[in-house]
Structures are given as structure tokens and as C-alpha cells.
């Protein structure tokens, strides 16, 4: 499949004429062909108009057909074969195995939502039957379903060019909810974006869906993304990226005549808490595993362990030695873009030069496109005194905070901003100490995990990939797992509607097919 | 029970020393004793500090005990007897029967949430069991529950001094979710607020809950409310009131270092669509019922029918005559406050003087504290041309828009801002025409009802009292009914936690007591 560099607007492939951008080979810095044309305001308008036109039709196609659509997207992505993997490896600098795994995850997400649609209870149907004899007033018949919000703007993320991009979790959950999607491709992987975009576009055609169900726009700057969020036909935004980027989109969304929700997943340093007995018993194993998690994908994970809290102890010293010796054996890796590498180096330099911070270890040095892992340590007092030490350094850098005791670990925890994850390493003898920290951690993070690292994000029904500000813009949501669909729907109540005017799922005939909550009690 | 005019901060009754305010007898304009003292910044700080202190304890008490608490509040409110009703009638100017009904509704809401807590599945527990043998990677054990957001600021509403005020739906759902509540009393009913506040305070003591579970603050101006929303310990806001007020609180919440959600229910004109056959067959009955709904509570309902859309016809003329003759028989009623009356008169005058608007009828004139109902009409063209005609006039005023045909009714519908309700009056022969409008109405409103008016808001599980902007700040929520609790919780995922560190509801022993969603499928 030859790349065109074109925008995908509805069923068309159109040359964008508002500047252009190229993919870059992350490992060599070489420019990759072709040039991708940025969308003009008129082209953006066309994509939004088509999405709006598609909305009422697309949202009412049967859940089964929507499931077929998601599965067709998955099949079309797999059918791209090596062409997709090769381009994605080149644009991201990520290892081939990682990209193949991420492709599997992307396809798995689409299939997870397809399964939910087939299961049919994601609409959360509720019925409060009429009570015509009730005194002093009869009770009306009330039926409730959730309907989609409208067209959704999705911003591809740099660090997961498949799973958080054109057909990633935001797109999959929005399409599953019944929302048309307009994607603003991330400039770091335009070729990957076009290939996946064409897989989606092809699925729209195969299922004979309204053409505005999906469009893909490129942007040589920031205009297209900003205009997309401001467009009155866009009704929600999915974004994964920097805190500055997410905050800027939130401001645009809030300033609209009719504000819309922005679901932005932004900034997290993902504290790892090492408890005394676990350290005493297996500091070396934890240190080695930590180094592996820290450097996975050059540390470019939202859930990368950027902060370690531990009580000063002989075990902590052994942990640091083990982590340092592991890091020394791990090669430097290409980072996603020169800009990300530049920001990473700036963050590492600031830590290295901080008077209260000690450099514990560095990974192997690499070429000018590669990030060198870094491990630092500081005292709890210094950490609490300087908010700059609590900022995310996106990449394979982490800061160990030496605490006097578990109470001080808790004090440090309370000083943190919201996080995606908090990981505890503990043995049975640590449970009592850990229990005193759990209330803080629940208030702090969307996911709490024991004896592991947050870098593996399971796609399932009980996953939360979200958390309090600033890890996300709305801690009541997740961008991974089946609950992600809840971001894109709203409840509508139907009172005393004649059966033939009710939506199909709420008609009497559907009572046998769907799980309803009748007077608040689940029943089938 | 003698009113003190004091703030209720935790278990204390404290004189506010930041200015003072009085209740006003809405029917006579007389000042009511005592004076209520406004909260100082230090007093507000104390309430927030206590709420924050209470949070971790209050959120982990058993659902059963929380249910007991809500039921104790309900019992204490009823135990206030006539003292509450008398004061509430005086402060609101609403009829005694209406206030008694509203008290029943308030108590009913508290009991609805108590019932949900006893039923136990509101936490939406999910479990994805571990798969240690899975290839290429084992699957961890993932368990999910929803936890409360933190202390919630609730703003009492002028128009429902019981059901949307100190112990109204926002407070009931926040307390049910596990959030401590700090109420900012509405200045129009301080005495009612103190009485109900003491009923809540007493229930906190009876159940031996942390004292910061509830506080009640008075405010002689706007400072207290604004500072409350800005306070870092407040984690969500419930508000019912004007668009200007809600928008101002949203701006404060968005500008915080860590933004929080504001659930504001604001502005709605609640279109009523009259279909041709219904008008032909029963224009008189619809007209009389409409006049009753329009003037209920002096029109001071969020769901008041402020807009009527109908096709030009002989039936429409009969509807207008019937509505006019009913209005002529309905006496003027006291409005809640002089400020609300002033705004109402201004809105009515603007419509009366609008060159494209005709005055169809006025209700009976009253004294200088009473609102006189008003019915206007205009053409669809004029309505579409002037956005000012689409603004809410809070009170018993409504505008009939004469449409050429059903297609033009749809065009008008598409031009409206988001609404709480849309009501359709139709007969069987109108179903085909109505069906063409339903997609617009679903996008427009939170509740669609047939052959009734939105002014009756049933408290149940399938109710939505919410809708797209500006009817609420977040159309994905409802402020009435059991779904209201969802505003105040967020999901937390627990990965591989040892059983004794899991929250009680997610431990193995609880599997028999709670409904869990296992791998996405509901099971008990």
C-alpha cells in the first residue's frame, strides 16, 4: 500500500493544502516520504459537517452492526501486515516486538468494545414502570437509555502510535458509543496514521456506514487541532499527551459558547513505594525489575515509574545498587521525536544539577537521537520543599526519595498531585504499614498495584487508566478498558412514550433481549 | 425550635461575623427574625478543614450505616413538623400544600439513596480474575470500585427550599456517595436552611459520624460561595440556579490549580410541541393543562414550559383561547424574592414590547410582590432571527411559536440550546410526524415526555433531570434520581492486592453479598 500523504475526509482522499509535514525516522533522523498536507479550515469544516450529518444515522445502527464495524477495523489493521509494522517502527523508533504487541493490543481493544456491544447491556437501560393508581399522583412510565454525545475529536498520542492513536482506545470507545470520530493525527507518525486511517475508512465502506463516521486530518502546526476543539459540531475530545497540550485544549473547550468535555490524559510520575520487609528480603529482584520497567520503550510510558519512595535502610542501598547495575547493562534507545528527546535531556540536566539531588546511575550513552536512562535520589525534606522535583520528566528518568519512616512516606504521598498509578512493593510483614497508606493512595491514583509496575496496562473491564488532576482532566473517567465508553454517552429519560415511538432497545419487545434495571433492581 | 441565625460548623453552632442577612416574608415583604451571620474566611476554612478530616473516615463507614444516616436525616426533618413548614411557606411564598409535598419529596430522596446503599450495587464492583497461565503474559487480578471524590460544596436553590437545598438532592446524593458536604445556604430561605441544617447536624451526632460530615454556612454576599468553590479541600460542586451564577462558579472551578467538576443546573425553557391531530382533537384540554403547568409555583420551576411550538391551525387558535381563559382565572402569586420578581417583570416587558411578539393573554394582576402570568406568541421566522427570544424568563411566562409545518417545528427545535425537558402532545395520527422530530429532541434534552408537562419531576431510577448546555454544565449527569450519585464518585482499580489489603467490598468474602461484574458480565 503506497502512502499518499492525503487527508481522509469521509470516503475521500484529499490533498491537504495548508502546509505540510514529514515523518522522521526516529533511529536515523532521516526524513521519510511522502509529504503530508495539512488541512485547511475548509477541509476541517468538511470533515465536521460530514461527521454531524452522519451522527443521527450512525448512532442508531444496531449494536451488532457497530460491533461488525469495529471488528472490520481490526481485521483491516491486521491485513496491513508488515507495511504497517515497518512504517510504525521507523516513525517511532520503538522495537518491532513492541509494535507488534501494540498492534495486538489495538486490535484487542476494538474487539473488547465489539464484545460489549454484542452483550448489549452497556446502554444501562432502566425502567420505572407506570403506577397509574398511585396516590396522591399517578406515577408515569419512565425509561432511560444512554445516547452518544455527538462527533468526537481524537488526538493521536506520540508514544503509542497504534493503541492511543488513529484507531486506539479513544476512537474505539467513541465509535462503540455511537459517536462519529474526527482524528487529528500526531505529527510524529503520519504514515502510520494514514495506513490505520485507511483501514478505518475501508471498514466504513464495507459496512456501508455514513461516510462522515470517520475522518483523519493532518496538521503542520496547531491550528487544525485547536479549530477542531472549537468547532460547534464537535461534542467531546479525547486526548493523550502533555499537560500543556491538554490544558490548552481544555481552555478552548471551556470558552466555547457551549462548552464540551475534554478527556485528556496528561501527566503522571507514578510513585513506587518500597516497603521495608520487601526491601530487606528481595531488594535485588525489585531493583532489576524496576530498571526494566523504567526503560521500557525508552521510558516513554504514561505509567513510567518516575518516582520511588522508600525508607532509608540497608535494603534501599541494595535496591539502588541493583537498579544501577541493571541500568548500566541497558542500552540507550531512540526516543520518539527530537522534541521529546530535547525535553527529556532538559529534565535530566535539571535534576542532575539540583543541589539536593544525587545522581545514582545512568544508563548506557547512545547516539544523538537516543535517551540515556537516569536514576536520581533526594531526601524527603528536599522533595517536599521544591515542587519542581515533582514534575514529570517524560522518558527513562526516576527520582528516589529517601524517607525517614513510613509516616514520612505518607507525608510525601499527600504532597503529590494526582497520578495514574501507585505501585507498592511489600511482603506479608509490610501489610500493616501499607494499610496506613492506602487511603492516601486511593485519593491519589486511579490504579493501585502490588508487587508490580504500572507499565503494563491490561485492557479489560476492571482497568482504570485515569486518575485525579493532572494525570487526567477528569478523574471520573478511564481511557483504557470498557468503562472508557462512559465518557462519550449521556442519559436520556423517556416519559410515557407510546411503544412505537420509543427507541428499539426500550420497547416492550426488547425486554427479553436486554438487561434492564427495573425500579433500580437488575433483571433480565 | 428557636432559630439562632448561627452557622453550623461540624458539631458547633457559631455566630457568623461577616455581615448579616435576614429572611423576607415573600407574601408581605416583611423582614423575618433572626439575623443570620455570614461566614468569615476563617469560619469557612474551619468547615472545609473539618470536611477534609472527616472524608477518609466517612467514606469507609458501611453502606448500611450511611443508609441509617440518610434515614435519620429524613426522620429529623419530619420531626420539625409545622415549624419547618411555616417558616418555609413564609420565606418562599409558596402554598402550604406545595411545601408539604416538597418535604415529602425531600424525605423520599433521602430514602431512595438509603435504599440504593442497602441494595449495595451502586459501587459498580468489577472483577477481572487473574489468569496466571495466559500467554505471552499472565493476566493480573484486577478489581474495581467507585470511591467518593471528596468534600462537596452544595449551593441551595431559591425555588425548591427543601428538595434542592440544604438536604436536597445534591446533598443526599453526595452524602450517599461518601462525600462530606458543606452547604452554602440560599439567602432567600435562611431560616428554613437552619432548621434543616440542624436536622442533618443532629443525625451526624446520632450516628456518631465524624463531625465534619456536614456544615452549613450563610453568606451576606457572594464571597463565601466563591471561596468555597476555590478551596483546595472541596472536590466537587452541586449548584441549581441561574446561568450567570453557574457559569461564574464553573470559571472559578476551572481556574483552580487542580480544577474540579461543577454540576450546575441552570437555564431551560422546556419546549412543548403541539402536534396537529392532538390540537384538532383536544386543544381545549391541552390549553387548560398548559396554563396550570405554566403557573405552578408562580412558574418558578426549572422545567416550566417557557416555549410552545405548534403548526398554524384552527386547533392552535382554540389552544390559545383555552390557555388565555384559564390564565384569566388564575390568581397572581407571590414570587420567591423581589430580585426574581424584578427579573421576571423585565423579561415579560421585553417580550411585550418586542415588535414581532404579540401578547396573547395575561394572568390576573396582583400586588407588588406577585408575578402576573403572561402568554405571548410570535412567528417561527421572528423566533429564528432573534436569539433574545430564546432566553429563559424565570416565572410564569411562555412564548408560542407559530410554525408553517412540522418541518419548521424541527428547524426551530434545531436552533434551541440544550434543555432539561421536551414535551410532545400528540395523538396516534401524529406519531409519524413526531418520529421525524425525535432525533433532534434526543440531542436537545435530558427528558422527553408525551402528553404531559415537565413540571412533575419523578424521583426514581430512570429519571434524568439534566441535559445539554446550558440546561446543565455537564449533560452527562442528572441532579434528580438515583443516577445523581454517579456525579460524586470515581473508579479506582486494584491490581494484585492481597485480600487483606483490599477494600471490604472487593474481598473474596464479599463475593456472595454484592453484585459483581466478572469479566464484564453481571453476576451475583
CATH number at residue B78: 3.40.605.10
What is the Cβ-side half-sphere exposure of residue B166, based on CA atoms within 13 angstroms? 31
Out of A259, A460, A522, the one facing B522 most closely (by C-beta) is: A522
Catalytic, A60? Answer: no
Give the per-residue pLDDT at A119.
87
Instruction: Identify the DSSP state of A419.
Output: E
Q: How does residue A448 score in pLDDT terms, banded at 50, 70 and 90? A: very high
Rounded to an integer, what distance in angstroms lies between the CA atom of residue B294 and that of residue A356? 69
Asked whether the beta carbons of residue A464 and residue B417 sit closer than 8 angstroms, the reply is no
Give the per-residue pLDDT at A80.
98
Mean pLDDT confidence for A319-326:
98
Query: Are residues B288 and B253 both part of a single domain?
Result: no
Q: Is residue B96 part of a domain?
A: yes
| Helix, strand, coil percent content, chain A, rounded in steps of 5 | 45, 20, 35
**Chain position carrying cell 521510558:** A299
pLDDT, chain A, mean: 96
Asked whether the beta carbons of residue B493 and residue A462 sit closer than 8 angstroms, the reply is yes
How much of chain A exceeds pLDDT 70, in percent? 99
Q: At how many degrees (to 10) do helices A243-255 and A223-230 cross?
A: 40
**Helix (H) or strand (E) segment spanning residue A109:** helix A96-119
Rounded to an integer, what distance in angstroms lies between the CA atom of residue A87 and that of residue A101? 15
Query: Are residues B305 and B241 both part of a single domain?
Result: no
Where b means 16+ CB within 10 Å and e means fewer, A165-199 reads: bbbbbbbbbbbbbbbbbbbbbbbbbbbbbbbbbbb
Give the per-residue pLDDT at B176.
98
Q: Contact A482/A89 with Cβ under 8 angstroms?
A: no
Residues 6+ apart with CB under 8 A from B438: A501, B448
Instruction: Identify the DSSP state of B131.
Output: B
Query: Are residues B222 and B174 both part of a single domain?
Result: yes
Choosing from B302, B392, B403, B417, the catalytic residue is B302
**pLDDT tens readout for residues A357-376:** 999 999 999 999 999 999 99
Query: Are residues A142 and A170 both part of a single domain?
Result: yes
Assigned C-alpha cell, B159 = 425555588
Rounded to an integer, what distance in angstroms lies between the CA atom of residue A18 and that of residue A21? 10
Could you tell me which of A72, A49, A35 has the C-alpha nearest to residue A194?
A: A35
Assigned C-alpha cell, A177 = 458509543
Query: Are residues B257 and B350 both part of a single domain?
Result: no
Helix (H, G, I), strand (E, B) or coil at A518: strand
CA A223 to chain CA centroid, Å, is 22
Mean pLDDT confidence for A263-279:
97
**pLDDT tens readout for residues A26-65:** 999 999 999 999 999 999 999 999 999 999 999 999 999 9
Mean pLDDT confidence for A239-267:
97
Phi, psi (5° rounding) for residue A483?
-65, -15
CB burial of residue A344 (10 Å; 0-12, 13-18, 19+): buried
Choosing from A71, A91, A265, A392, the catalytic residue is A265
Query: Are residues B414 and B304 both part of a single domain?
Result: yes
A270 phi-psi bin (left φ>0, alpha ψ -120 to 50, beta other): left
Q: By CA distance, what is A417's nearest residue in B?
A: B258
Out of B150, B452, B519, the one facing A496 most closely (by C-beta) is: B452
Pairing of strands B214-217, A445-450: unpaired
Which positions in chain A touch B469 (Cβ < 8 Å)? 258-259
Strand order in the sheet with A307-311: A358-362, A374-379, A397-403, A307-311, A271-274, A419-425, A445-450, B489-495, B142-148, B126-128, B516-518, B521-523
Q: Is residue B61 part of a domain?
A: yes
Q: Is residue A95 part of a domain?
A: yes
Q: Looking at the DSSP assignment, which residues form a beta bridge with residue A238? A: A154, A263
Query: Are residues A354 and A333 both part of a single domain?
Result: yes
Give the per-residue pLDDT at B98.
95
Q: What is the ipTM of this complex?
A: 0.97
Q: Contact B211/B204 with Cβ under 8 angstroms?
A: yes
Segment A284-288 long-range contacts (CB within 8 Å, at least 24 positions apart): A284/A318, A284/A319, A284/A321, A284/A322, A285/A322, A286/A319, A286/A322, A286/A425, A287/A318, A287/A319, A287/A320, A287/A321, A287/A322, A287/A323, A287/A324, A287/A326, A288/A322, A288/A323, A288/A326
Give the per-residue pLDDT at B136.
87
Which positions in chain A touch B515 (Cβ < 8 Å)? 522
Mean pLDDT confidence for A436-446:
98
Q: At how many degrees (to 10) do helices A81-92 and A63-79 cross?
A: 80
Query: Are residues A324 and A424 both part of a single domain?
Result: yes
Q: Looking at the DSSP assignment, which residues form a beta bridge with residue A37? A: A20
Query: Are residues B205 and B353 both part of a single domain?
Result: no
Could you tell me which of B332, B389, B401, B390 has the C-alpha nearest to residue B360?
A: B401
Q: Contact A215/A6 with Cβ under 8 angstroms?
A: no
Rounded to an integer, what distance in angstroms lies between the CA atom of residue B437 and that of residue B406? 8
Asked whether the beta carbons of residue A520 and residue B126 sit closer than 8 angstroms, the reply is no
Mutate to test the interface with A, among B52, B264, B448, B495 (most CBs of A within 10 A): B495
Mutate to test the interface with A, among B234, B237, B462, B465 (most CBs of A within 10 A): B462
Q: By CA distance, what is B258's nearest residue in A?
A: A469
Instruction: Identify the DSSP state of B220.
Output: S
Phi, psi (5° rounding) for residue B242?
-80, 160
Q: Is residue B240 part of a domain?
A: yes
Give the per-residue pLDDT at A524.
54
Could you tell me which of B170, B121, B163 has the C-alpha nearest to residue B146?
A: B121
Query: Are residues A407 and A482 both part of a single domain?
Result: no
Q: A329: domain CATH number? A: 3.40.309.10
Q: Is residue B416 part of a domain?
A: yes
Out of B448, B490, B492, the one facing A448 most closely (by C-beta) is: B492
Out of B250, B431, B490, the one facing A476 most closely (by C-beta) is: B490
Catalytic, A265? Answer: yes
Could you tell me which of A10, A12, A8 has the C-alpha nearest to residue A37?
A: A8
Query: Are residues B411 and B332 both part of a single domain?
Result: yes
**pLDDT tens readout for residues A487-520:** 999 999 999 999 999 999 999 887 666 778 899 8
- For B231-366, where are the alpha helices, taking DSSP H only? 243-255, 276-295, 314-329, 338-353
Rounded to an integer, what distance in angstroms lies between the CA atom of residue B79 and that of residue B46? 29
Q: Is residue A498 part of a domain?
A: no
Q: Contact B134/B140 with Cβ under 8 angstroms?
A: no
Residues 6+ apart with CB under 8 A from B13: B4, B6, B7
CB pairs under 8 A between A and B: 213
Give the per-residue pLDDT at B497.
98
Give the C-alpha distances (Å, rounded to integers) separating A269 from A245, A391, A460, B232, B284: 17, 7, 23, 21, 67
Q: Contact A249/A229 with Cβ under 8 angstroms?
A: yes
Instruction: Kindly give the parts of chain B with pLDDT less than 50.
Output: none
**pLDDT tens readout for residues B81-134:** 999 999 999 999 999 999 999 999 999 999 999 999 998 777 789 999 999 999
Q: Contact A335/A368 with Cβ under 8 angstroms?
A: no
**Chain position carrying cell 458509543:** A177
Q: Contact B273/B453 with Cβ under 8 angstroms?
A: no
Query: Are residues A229 and A339 both part of a single domain?
Result: no
Instruction: Identify the DSSP state of B28.
Output: T
Rounded to an integer, what distance in angstroms lies between the CA atom of residue B39 and that of residue B184? 10
**Chain position carrying cell 482497568:** A463
The alpha-carbon gap from B360 to the nearest alpha carbon of chain A, in Å, equals: 30
Q: Contact B199/B224 with Cβ under 8 angstroms?
A: no
**Chain position carrying cell 458543606:** B182
Q: Is residue A121 part of a domain?
A: yes
- Domain hosting residue B365, numbered range: 271-450
Give the per-residue pLDDT at B120.
77
**pLDDT tens readout for residues A388-424:** 999 999 999 999 999 999 999 999 999 999 999 999 9
Q: Is residue A362 part of a domain?
A: yes
| Total tally of structural domains belonging to chain A | 2
CB-CB neighbours of A154 under 10 Å: 32
| Strand ranges (E), B71-169 | 126-128, 142-148, 152-155
Asked whether the beta carbons of residue B497 and residue A450 sit closer than 8 angstroms, the reply is yes
Amino acid at each position: 500500500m503506497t502512502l499518499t500523504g492525503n487527508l481522509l475526509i469521509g470516503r475521500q482522499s484529499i490533498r491537504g493544502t495548508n502546509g505540510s509535514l514529514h515523518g522522521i525516522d526516529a533511529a536515523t533522523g532521516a526524513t521519510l516520504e511522502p509529504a503530508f498536507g495539512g488541512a485547511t479550515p475548509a477541509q476541517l469544516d468538511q470533515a465536521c459537517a460530514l461527521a454531524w450529518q452522519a451522527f443521527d444515522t450512525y448512532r442508531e445502527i444496531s449494536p451488532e452492526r457497530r460491533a461488525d464495524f469495529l471488528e472490520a477495523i481490526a481485521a483491516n489493521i491486521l491485513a496491513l501486515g508488515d507495511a504497517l509494522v515497518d512504517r510504525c517502527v521507523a516513525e517511532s523508533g520503538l522495537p518491532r516486538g513492541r509494535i507488534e504487541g501494540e498492534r495486538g493490543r489495538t486490535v484487542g481493544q476494538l474487539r473488547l468494545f465489539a464484545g460489549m456491544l454484542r452483550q448489549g447491556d452497556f446502554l444501562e437501560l432502566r425502567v420505572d414502570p407506570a403506577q397509574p393508581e398511585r396516590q396522591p399522583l399517578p406515577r408515569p412510565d419512565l425509561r432511560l437509555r444512554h445516547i452518544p454525545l455527538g462527533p468526537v475529536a481524537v488526538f493521536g498520542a506520540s508514544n503509542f502510535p497504534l493503541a492511543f492513536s488513529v484507531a486506539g482506545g479513544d476512537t474505539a470507545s467513541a465509535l462503540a458509543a455511537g459517536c462519529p470520530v474526527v482524528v487529528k493525527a500526531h505529527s510524529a507518525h503520519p504514515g502510520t496514521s494514514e495506513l490505520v486511517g485507511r483501514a478505518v475508512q475501508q471498514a466504513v465502506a464495507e459496512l456501508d456506514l455514513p461516510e462522515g463516521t470517520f475522518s483523519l486530518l493532518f496538521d503542520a502546526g496547531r491550528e487544525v487541532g485547536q479549530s477542531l476543539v472549537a468547532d460547534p459540531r464537535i461534542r467531546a475530545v479525547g486526548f493523550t499527551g502533555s499537560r500543556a497540550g491538554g490544558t490548552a485544549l481544555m481552555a478552548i473547550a471551556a470558552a466555547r459558547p457551549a462548552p464540551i468535555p475534554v478527556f485528556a490524559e496528561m501527566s503522571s510520575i507514578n510513585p513506587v513505594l518500597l516497603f521495608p520487609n520487601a526491601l530487606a528480603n528481595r531488594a535485588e529482584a525489585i531493583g532489576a525489575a524496576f530498571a526494566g520497567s523504567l526503560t521500557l520503550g525508552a521510558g516513554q510510558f504514561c505509567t513510567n515509574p518516575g518516582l520511588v519512595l522508600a525508607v532509608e535502610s540497608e535494603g534501599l542501598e541494595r535496591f539502588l545498587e541493583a537498579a544501577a547495575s541493571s541500568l548500566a547493562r541497558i542500552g540507550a534507545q531512540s526516543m520518539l521525536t527530537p522534541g521529546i528527546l530535547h525535553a527529556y535531556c532538559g529534565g535530566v540536566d535539571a535534576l542532575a544539577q539540583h543541589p539536593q539531588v544525587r545522581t545514582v546511575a545512568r544508563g548506557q550513552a547512545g547516539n544523538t537521537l537516543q535517551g540515556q536512562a537516569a536514576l536520581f535520589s533526594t531526601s524527603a525534606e528536599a522533595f517536599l520543599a521544591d515542587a519542581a522535583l515533582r514534575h514529570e520528566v517524560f522518558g527513562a528518568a526516576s527520582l528516589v526519595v529517601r524517607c525517614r519512616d513510613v509516616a514520612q512516606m505518607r507525608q510525601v504521598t499527600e504532597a503529590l498531585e494526582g497520578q495514574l498509578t501507585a505501585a507498592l512493593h511489600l511482603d506479608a510483614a509490610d501489610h500493616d504499614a501499607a494499610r496506613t497508606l492506602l487511603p492516601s493512595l486511593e485519593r491519589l491514583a486511579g490504579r493501585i498495584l502490588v508487587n508490580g509496575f504500572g507499565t503494563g496496562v491490561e485492557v479489560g473491564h476492571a482497568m482504570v487508566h485515569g486518575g485525579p488532576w493532572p494525570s487526567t482532566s477528569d478523574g471520573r473517567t478511564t481511557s483504557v478498558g470498557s468503562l472508557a465508553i462512559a465518557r462519550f454517552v449521556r442519559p436520556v429519560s423517556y416519559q410515557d412514550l407510546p411503544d412505537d415511538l420509543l427507541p428499539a432497545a426500550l420497547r416492550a419487545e426488547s425486554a427479553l433481549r436486554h438487561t434492564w434495571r427495573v425500579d433500580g433492581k437488575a433483571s433480565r
